Amino acid sequence: MGRVKEQLLDNHYGDIDTADYAYQFELWQKSKEYVNMVNEELIDTQTTYSKSDVNEAICYAFGAVKVTQSEVGSDVYGKLIHESIFEYLNR
């Protein structure tokens, strides 16, 4: 009988543990720390480049890539342009 009781308590303890985590998560979602974390994430997703920066980067990229699209294929050409744009924006 002791083993059955032990197994039932172990199984039930897992449910209590899960319920406690769910409750703690719910409390955390309502906290100021959660709101601050979400706001920081939203700030990180905002654009950091002006339209003129992007336009200059595109012009730079097309000038920097010296091969044609027919020579390397559209996929490689697109990656080269993409790489050149971010190279310009991150300097």
Average pLDDT, rounded, for the chain = 84
What is the CA angle 79-83-86, rounded to 5? 140
Residues 40 and 57 reside in one and the same domain: no
Structural domain range at position 52: 48-91
How many domains are contained in the chain? 2
> What is the model's pLDDT at position 84?
94
Q: Is 84 helix (H, G, I), strand (E, B) or coil?
A: helix
Structure tokens at 10: 């172990």
Would you say the pTM of this structure is higher than 0.85? no
> What is the model's pLDDT at position 9?
58
Residues 52 and 90 reside in one and the same domain: yes
Residues 40 and 76 reside in one and the same domain: no
pLDDT band at 12 (very low <50, low <70, confident <90, very high): low
pLDDT surpasses 90 at 70: yes
